[in-house]
Amino acid sequence: MVRRRVDASPGGVVNLSSHPDVRNTGVPRVLSGRGLWLAAAVALLAGCASAARVEVASQFPTPLVEPLPVRAAVYYEDALRQFAHSETIPQHSQWEFELGQASLSLFRPLFGALFQQVETLERAPQPGEIPHVDLIIAPRLERFEFDIPRHRDSRFAEVWMQYRLFVYAPDGTPIAEWPVTGYGKSAASGTLPRAALHDAAVRAMREAGATISVRFASQPDVRNWLQENRHAPHAAQNGDG
């Protein structure tokens, strides 16, 4: 098994062009003899190779939770909407993951069930710009890792991912910053475990979503904010989570 990882930058922007596995290589204009032959062979192999593309797509269920008496606004940054990762595993294959739309499909029903009222923001708000809400939430996908089976005794594809929820008051004051992890594992068959990786990614996202729906109100910073603002939902009394 080979474990691969990509971290989002502190600013939340995943710039694939700066990733060490994505490089621009050039071939000299004038080649002769063996150099020309090698260049032709490399070009032929590159043309024959195709990336294994995993576009994660799923309809995530709406959590069955009691909504908090909170009016929330959610901002989905471009780095989350367009999250993608491309990586070549030596002596194996190239993998491309697209998780942006799947993340939106996860969070939209989740936040819709978790809060009494929810609106989606088209851009990052300025402090005090939307005083009619109680909370502003900005989710981010900041870590993504995967394992693929490479030997006969390797049977499973695995995915790890970590979201981070940034929670703010309408005036921009930070309320909470909560990392939420998810793990998924799926049996793989054949030489290209694309379906197993897709299933493992969906399982990891479901686990992260379940954690948020059950434990959001019991996070210490969120729970303190709820109590200070006289919001007293039953979920806030379930412990520290």
Q: How does pLDDT run across 140-178, given as a tens digit for each residue? A: 999 999 888 766 666 888 999 999 999 999 999 999 999
Query: Buried b vs exposed e over 94-110: b needs ≥16 C-beta within 10 Å?
Result: ebebbbbebbebbbbbb
pTM: 0.73
Identify the residue with better confidence: 155 or 71.
71
Taken in order of first residue, the domains within the chain and their CATH numbers are 51-237 (3.30.160.150)
CA-based end-to-end distance of the chain: 32
Indicate the average pLDDT of the chain.
Answer: 77
Phi and psi dihedrals of 44, rounded to 5? -65, -45
Structure tokens given for 36 = 């020309």
The residues with which 159 forms a beta bridge, in sequence order, are: 146, 184
The answer to whether the CB of 236 falls within 8 A of the CB of 217 is yes
Q: 3-state class of 68 per DSSP? A: strand
Q: 3-state class of 82 per DSSP? A: coil
Task: For Cα atoms 127, 128, 130, give the angle at the middle one, nearest 5 degrees.
Answer: 110
Q: How does pLDDT run across 21-61, given as a tens digit for each residue? A: 333 333 333 334 444 334 333 333 443 356 787 888 888 98
What confidence category does residue 92 fall into, taking pLDDT thresholds of 50, 70 and 90?
low
